[in-house]
Amino acid sequence: MKVAIYPGSFDPITSGHLNIIRRAANIFDKLIVCVMVNSGKYPLFTQQERVDMIRRVVKDLPNVEV
C-alpha cells in the first residue's frame, strides 16, 4: 500500500491545496492530510475549524484521511 502525507497549515484551504489533494489521491492508495500549527503565523481559523473544512471538501475522496 502506498501512503502519502500532505502537511500544511491550510489556513484556509485553497483551490490549489484541493487540486494537490485530488491529484495525490489518484496516485496513492491512502493520503493523509495533516493540519499543522505554524507558530510563525497568526491563523484566521482554529485548527479544528481547518480540519472540519478540509473534511467537508474531501468527503467524496474515500482514500483521504484528515
pLDDT at 49: 97
Span 50-63, average pLDDT: 98
Does pLDDT of 41 surpass 90? no
Contact present, 35 and 45 (Cβ < 8 Å): no
State the pLDDT confidence band at 52, using cuts at 50, 70 and 90: very high
Phi, psi of 5 (to 5 degrees): -120, 130
Which amino acid does the sequence have at 51? V
pTM of the model: 0.92
Contact present, 54 and 27 (Cβ < 8 Å): no
Cell readout for 23 is 491529484
Cell readout for 14 is 485553497
